Amino acid sequence: MTHHHHHRGAHAAPEAALGRAFAWGIALNTAFVAIEAAVGIAYDSMGLLSDAGHNLSDVASLLLALLAYRLARVHARPRYTYGYRKSTVLISLLNSVVLLVAVGAIVAESIGRMLHPMPVEGGVIAWTAGAGVAVNGFTAWLFVRDKERDLNVKGAYLHMAADALVSVGVLVSGLVIARTGWTFVDPVIGVVVAGVIVASVWSLTRDSLRLALDGVPPGLDPASVEHAMLGVEGVCEVHHLHLWAISTTENALTAHVVVAPDARTECVKAALRRVLDAEGVAHATIETEGAEERCTCRED
């Protein structure tokens, strides 16, 4: 006997608020990219132009995250019985790769400046970077509340927080250069900031790759879930238990449950639904078996 239980995650962010956060983030960062590129052209600053290109990649990442947010809400179809929820995992993985590529570009640019120092307008860089700190910091703040609920929101947050950190580094280097003329400070801070970004984005990349491979979602422990299920009255045994992610916000489970002869199957399933919901599993498919039955499915 099978039973399906499916609902939207209890911790899903309110649609309207998160939609506005994406809209604000995309609009503000697009405007900042245009201003930074214009200043870079006016002052013939490769540093500002390269940073504008990096910020443009973040706008693309925000657009991808917004796309995932919309696709997750597309209804199931005959050929896609889970809808497009899995696309949220793939986009999360793509976003983490984009961020790592951006870090590589920062490192390459920094090394190039170490080998071939160029004159830098410290004051202009400091003012522009200060605006970047404000824009990126505010955008990151828009996502901070929901960053642990969805990997795509976490990716958007990390992109913006990383950019704010880069802007802080550029601001510091601009002030130092304006006062001392030490142009080598700029690439050194760039390398340091890149290292900090890699450390912060590693968890996003690891978790996204795990979900893409249908691994156990972060925060779920198969042994703990099985123990909770065995604690339900009337459950004698649990086997063939599998856990994976339908999307970045919904987890799924399939399992065979051996029910005691004197237990009411419907009551056991209702209790299992409550237990699994508390464990963070929104969609459960449970096959019940009698104690006298012998499961013939191959253990995998």
DSSP string covering 124-185: HHHHHHHHHHHHHHHHHHHHGGGTTT-HHHHHHHHHHHHHHHHHHHHHHHHHHHHHH--TTH
| 168 vs 175: CA distance, rounded Å | 11
Alpha-carbon gap, residue 134 to 114, rounded angstroms: 28
The predicted structure's pLDDT at residue 48 = 66
Q: In what order do the strands lie in the sheet with 283-290?
A: 2-5, 283-290, 251-259, 235-245
Residue 245 in tokens: 């992610």
The superfamily in CATH containing domain 14-212 is Cation efflux protein transmembrane domain (1.20.1510.10)
d(CA 251, CA 243): 7
Tell me, what DSSP letter sits at residue 213?
Answer: T
pLDDT in the model for residue 261: 87
**Helix (H), strand (E) at residue 123:** helix 122-143
Go through the chain and tell me how many residues it has. Answer: 300
Domains 14-212 and 222-290 share a fold: no
Class of domain 222-290: alpha beta
Q: On the CB side of 106, how many CA atoms lie within 13 Å of its CA?
A: 30
SS (H, E, C) 13-75: CCHHHHHHHHHHHHHHHHHHHHHHHHHHHHCCCHHHHHHHHHHHHHHHHHHHHHHHHHHCCCC
Q: How confident is the model at residue 19, as a pLDDT?
A: 78
CB atoms near residue 65 (< 10 Å): 30
* Cα radius of gyration (the chain): 25
Rounded Cα–Cα distance for residues 62 and 58 (Å): 6
CB 163, CB 132: distance < 8 Å = yes
Structure tokens at 32: 């900042």
* Closest to 157 in 3D by CA, of 138, 185, 174, 129: 138
How confident is the chain (300 residues) per 10-residue block, as mean pLDDT?
Answer: 42 64 89 84 66 74 81 80 84 82 80 74 76 88 82 81 79 79 75 75 85 90 94 92 89 92 89 92 88 61
Residue spans per domain, the chain: 14-212, 222-290
Q: Are 284 and 269 in contact (CB under 8 A)?
A: no
Tokens read off for 166: 């880069």
User: What is the distance between the alpha carbons of residues 90 and 208, in angstroms, rounded to a whole number?
Assistant: 8
> 48 near 128, Cβ under 8 Å?
yes
